[in-house]
Structure 1
Amino acid sequence: MTTICVDQPATDARAWAASVTMAATVFTVVTAEMLPVGLLTPLSDTLHITEGTAGLSLTVTGIVSAVASPVLPLLLGKLDRRTVLSGLMVLLAVAAFVAAIAPVYSIFIAARVLMGISIGGVWLFTVSLARRVVPEHAAGPATSLIFSGIGIASVLGIPAGAYVGELVGWRWAFVGVGLIALGLTVALGIFLPNLPPERAIRLADVREVLQLKQVRVGLVLVALIVTGHFAAYTYIRPLLEPHTGPALIGTLLLAYGVAGVAGNFLTGALRPARALTVIAGGIALTALAMPVLGTTLAGSLVLLVIWGLAYGGTSVSTQAWGHAAAPSAPESSSAVLVGVYNGSIALGAFTGGQVADRVGTTTVTWLPAILATAALLVLLANRRERG
C-alpha cells in the first residue's frame, strides 16, 4: 500500500508533464506557422516583396502541412511516436534557423517547406496521443490542454514575434522558435513514454473514413471557416497599421489571442454543431463590421476581441465533430481533418493575398464574411436533414 501511495502521484505527474510538453510542442509549431502574420510588413520590406507575396509563406506551409498530415502516418507508421515527435521538432528547429538567415525569398520559402512537414506531423500525432499519456478519465481534459497550445500561440507566440520584430528584427523571432524547438526535443524525450503505434494507418482506413457523411460535412465546415479566417487574418497587420500604427500591433494581437484562449474553452464546452454555429456567426459579423468599425484603435480592439472569442474554439470543435463522426477511427479522422485544416490555411492566405494585391487590403474582410455565412448555411441544412 505504501508503494502505491508514493508511486501513483509520480505517475500522474509524469503523465501531465507529458501533456504539458505536447501542448508546448503544439504551441511552438503553431507559432512557427503563424509567425509571418505579425511580421508581414518588415519581412516584405527586407526581402523586397509585396505583402501579398509575403503572405504566400503561409500558403506554402499550409499546403505542405496538408499533404504531410495524411502521408506521414503511412510513411512512419511503424516508428515509436516519441521518436517521431522528437525528430519533427529537430526538423522545425533547422527550418527556423534557415528562415532566420535567409538572404532571399526563395530560401525563406524553402525553410517554410521544411516547417510544413514538421507542423503537419506534430498536429496529427499530438492529437491522437493525448488519450495515451494520461489515465482514461483524464483523456478529455488532456486533449483540451494540448489544443490550448493553439490558442496560447495566438496569445504569446504571434504577439511576441511582432514585439521581437519591432525591437531587434524579424529574423530573431525565428531564432527564438528554433531554440524553443530544440528545448522541446529534449523535453519530449524525458517526459513522453515509449509510444509504439497502436495500428499503422492504411490508405483504406482514410477512404473508409471519407465515406462517412458527417465526416465529409465536417471537412466542408473546416474548409469554409478556416479559409475565410486566414484570408483576412494573414493580412491583419497591414489592415490595422493605417489606423493604429506599427507600435500597437503586438498589443492588438495579444488582445485577440487572450480572447482566443477564452473562446477555446468556452466553445469547447458546447456540442460541436452549436459551437461551430457560434464560431461561424461570430466571424461573419466581425468581418462585416471591420470596414466600418475597425477604422479606429478602440473599434479595432473590440472587433479583434470578438473575432478571437469566435475563432478560438475552432480546433477543439472541429476535432470533436470528427471524433463524433468516426469514433472508431480517431487517427484516420484526425489525419484527414488536419490535412484539410492546413490546406484551408494555405488557400485562405493565397486568396487573401491575391485580393490584397489586386484590389486592396481593406477588402479582404469580405472573404470571411462570405465563407462563414456559407458555413452557417451548411450547418442549417445538416441540422434539417438529420431532423
Structure 2
Amino acid sequence: MALAHQGIEAEEPIEPPATTASWAALVAIGVGAFALVTTEFLPVGLLPQIASDMTVTEGQAGLAVTMSGLFAATAAPISIWIAGSLDRRKVLLFLLGILLIANLIVAMAPSFLMILLGRVLLGATIGAFWTIAGPLGPRLKPGPKAGLATAIILSGVSLGTVAGVPVGALIGELVGWRYTFGLSAIVAVLVLVAIALLVPPLPVKSSGGLGDLYRVFKNPMVRFGLVGIFLSFVGQFAGYTYIAPFLLKIVRVDPPTVSAVLFGFGLVGVAGNILGGWAVGKSLRWATAGTLTLLGTSVLLLILLGSYPAAAIPLILVWGLGFGMQPIVIQNWMFNAAPDQLEGVQAILVSAAQTSIGSGALIGGLLFDQLGLKAAFAAAAVTAFLTAAMFAALKPSAAGR
C-alpha cells in the first residue's frame, strides 16, 4: 500500500539524542521500504503465471497477497515489543536478511504451499520494517529537516505500492515469475549492504511498547480513520488484486498490453501520490472523500464498460491516479489525528492497512471464483462510495480542517 508522510511534523523521538546521518542513508532506508512493498505486490501482476505453473485457480493464487498482508498486520504491533531496546540499524539489517530468504523460497518453491511459506516470512518482515523505519527520520535529520527525512523514508512505501504490480508484470513477461522474485532477492542484498555502510548505529534508550498503542487507539479520530482504512482498503484490494485477470478476460487484451497498462497504472499512481499530498494541504476531509469518490466512480464504470478497451484502459489509469492518492490522504488523516504519537500511529496504521489488504485479496478471490471478476470489482466500488460518504459527513471541526 503507498503511504507517504506529507507535511506533518514528526514527534520528538523517545530515543537518545538524535544521530545525524547523510541524506544517502535516508535514501537507502527508503529504497529498503520500496523493495519490501514492491515484493509484497509482485504477485498481483503475476497471478495468471503463478496459477498456471502451480495448477491452482487465480483466486487461490491471490492467497500469496493475503498471507503477506495478514502476517504484516500481526508483525507491526508486535515488532515494537520484540525490538525493545535493540539498535534499530541492526533490526533493519536482520529484516532485510529475512526478505532475501523469503524471496529465494518463493523463487525456488516446488509447490504453492512453499510459496505461501515465503510470503508469510515476507509479511512479517514488511510489518516490522515499516513500523521501525517509519519514525527514524527525526533521529537521522533532527530539527526542521525531520519532516523531509520522514517523507523520503516513507516515499519508498508509496512508490512500492503503485510500482510493485507493473514491475512484476513487466519482468515476469520478459523472464518468468520465478526470476522476478530472484531479482527481488538481489535487490535485497544491495539494500542490505547500502544500509550497513551508510546508516549509523541507532541505539534506543527506551520504548513505550504496547502501551503506546492503547493510548493511540483511545483517540476517537484514530478509530474513525481505522474504520475508513478497513472499508476502503478491503474494497480496493478485492478488485485491484485481480486487475491482471480482468484485463485478460474482460477487456481481452494480450499479455504485453497487460504489462503496458499496469506500467501506466503505476506511473499515474506516482502522480496520485503527489496530487494527494497537495490536496490534503487544501482540505484533509474533502481530499479524502474526493479520492474515495474517484476510486468508486472509476471502478463502477469499469464494471459497465470493461469490455470496451477504448474506455476500459483510460478508466484503469484514472483508477491508478486515485489509487496513488488513497494511502497519502489516509495516512495524513491518521497522523493529523495524533501528531504527537507518530510511532504508535504508524504501528496501528500498518497493522490496519495490511489486515485490510490481506482480507481484501481473500474476499476478492472468493468473489472471483464463485461469482466472477465483476463481483470483486463491485465490492471495490461499493466500499469506496460508502467510505467517501462517511468522511464527507464528518463535521469539519472533528476532521481538523
Q: What TM-score bracket applies, with the shorter chain setting the length?
A: over 0.9
Tell me what 2:270 maps to. Answer: 261
- Judged with a 3 Å threshold, the aligned counterparts in structure 2 of structure 1 residues 53 and 72 are, in CA distance, closer, same or farther, namely same
1:131 matched to 2:143? The reply is: no
Residue type of the alignment partner of 2:228: L
Tell me what 1:4 maps to. Answer: none
Distance in 2 (alpha carbons) for counterparts of 1:324 and 1:155: 24
Q: Secondary structure at the match of 1:313?
A: helix
Q: What pairs with 1:307-386 in structure 2 (closer than 5 Å)?
A: 307-383=319-395, 386=398
Tell me what 1:36 maps to. Answer: 43
Q: Secondary structure at the match of 2:246?
A: helix
- Judged with a 3 Å threshold, the aligned counterparts in structure 2 of structure 1 residues 149 and 372 are, in CA distance, closer, same or farther, namely same
The Cα offsets for residues 322-362 of structure 1, whole Å up to 9 and x where unpaired, read as: 22211221101111111000000011000000000000112
Tell me what 1:288 maps to. Answer: 300
Distance in 2 (alpha carbons) for counterparts of 1:134 and 1:304: 39
- Judged with a 3 Å threshold, the aligned counterparts in structure 2 of structure 1 residues 152 and 384 are, in CA distance, closer, same or farther, namely closer
Q: What pairs with 1:52-131 in structure 2 (closer than 5 Å)?
A: 52-131=59-138
Distance in 1 (alpha carbons) for counterparts of 2:305 and 2:266: 20
The Cα offsets for residues 31-68 of structure 1, whole Å up to 9 and x where unpaired, read as: 11101100000100001100010001111111100000
1:306 matched to 2:324? The reply is: no
Q: How many residues align?
A: 376
Q: What pairs with 1:189-268 in structure 2 (closer than 5 Å)?
A: 189-197=196-204, 199-242=206-249, 243-268=252-277
Q: Secondary structure at the match of 2:183?
A: helix
Tell me what 1:162 maps to. Answer: 169
Gaps of 5+ in 2: 1-18
Structure 1 range deviating more: 179-188 or 289-298:
289-298
Shift of residue 161, structure 1, vs aligned partner: 1.7
The Cα offsets for residues 186-220 of structure 1, whole Å up to 9 and x where unpaired, read as: 11112212222363132222111111100101111
Tell me what 1:46 maps to. Answer: 53
Shift of residue 293, structure 1, vs aligned partner: 2.6
Structure 1 range deviating more: 151-160 or 238-247:
151-160
Shift of residue 114, structure 1, vs aligned partner: 0.4
Residue type of the alignment partner of 1:34: F
Distance in 1 (alpha carbons) for counterparts of 2:226 and 2:387: 11
Gaps of 5+ in 1: 1-10
Residue type of the alignment partner of 1:232: G
Distance in 2 (alpha carbons) for counterparts of 1:261 and 1:168: 25
Contact 1:255-1:301 within 8 A present in 2 as well:
no
- Judged with a 3 Å threshold, the aligned counterparts in structure 2 of structure 1 residues 198 and 250 are, in CA distance, closer, same or farther, namely farther
Q: TM-score, normalised by structure 1?
A: 0.92
- Judged with a 3 Å threshold, the aligned counterparts in structure 2 of structure 1 residues 154 and 295 are, in CA distance, closer, same or farther, namely farther
Structure 1 range deviating more: 254-263 or 123-132:
123-132
Q: Which has the higher contact order (CA 8 A, sep 6+)?
A: 2
- Judged with a 3 Å threshold, the aligned counterparts in structure 2 of structure 1 residues 323 and 151 are, in CA distance, closer, same or farther, namely closer
Shift of residue 154, structure 1, vs aligned partner: 5.0
Shift of residue 363, structure 1, vs aligned partner: 2.2
Distance in 1 (alpha carbons) for counterparts of 2:153 and 2:258: 27
Shift of residue 156, structure 1, vs aligned partner: 4.4
Q: Secondary structure at the match of 2:327?
A: helix
Contact 1:19-1:145 within 8 A present in 2 as well:
yes
Structure 1 range deviating more: 53-62 or 298-307:
298-307
The Cα offsets for residues 307-330 of structure 1, whole Å up to 9 and x where unpaired, read as: 121121333322222222112211
Shift of residue 155, structure 1, vs aligned partner: 5.5
Q: Secondary structure at the match of 1:275?
A: helix
Shift of residue 150, structure 1, vs aligned partner: 3.2
Distance in 2 (alpha carbons) for counterparts of 1:130 and 1:293: 45
Q: Secondary structure at the match of 1:269?
A: helix
Tell me what 1:8 maps to. Answer: none
Distance in 1 (alpha carbons) for counterparts of 2:156 and 2:187: 14
Q: Secondary structure at the match of 2:113?
A: helix
> Which of 124, 142, 145 matches 2:149?
142
Residue type of the alignment partner of 2:272: G
Structure with the bigger percentage of helix: 1
Distance in 2 (alpha carbons) for counterparts of 1:164 and 1:267: 28
- Judged with a 3 Å threshold, the aligned counterparts in structure 2 of structure 1 residues 63 and 194 are, in CA distance, closer, same or farther, namely same
Contact 1:155-1:253 within 8 A present in 2 as well:
no
Contact 2:296-2:381 within 8 A present in 1 as well:
yes
- Judged with a 3 Å threshold, the aligned counterparts in structure 2 of structure 1 residues 145 and 294 are, in CA distance, closer, same or farther, namely farther
Identity of paired residues, percent?
35
Q: Report the RMSD for the aligned CA atoms in angstroms.
A: 1.8
Shift of residue 19, structure 1, vs aligned partner: 1.9
The Cα offsets for residues 149-199 of structure 1, whole Å up to 9 and x where unpaired, read as: 234335644322212222221000000111101111111112212222363
Distance in 2 (alpha carbons) for counterparts of 1:201 and 1:179: 35
Q: Secondary structure at the match of 2:62?
A: helix
Distance in 1 (alpha carbons) for counterparts of 2:362 and 2:379: 12
Distance in 1 (alpha carbons) for counterparts of 2:153 and 2:307: 36
Contact 2:105-2:115 within 8 A present in 1 as well:
yes
Distance in 2 (alpha carbons) for counterparts of 1:162 and 1:284: 24
Contact 1:218-1:321 within 8 A present in 2 as well:
yes
Distance in 2 (alpha carbons) for counterparts of 1:260 and 1:32: 17
Residue type of the alignment partner of 1:190: L
Contact 2:292-2:384 within 8 A present in 1 as well:
yes
Contact 1:278-1:310 within 8 A present in 2 as well:
no
1:187 matched to 2:194? The reply is: yes
Q: Secondary structure at the match of 1:365?
A: helix
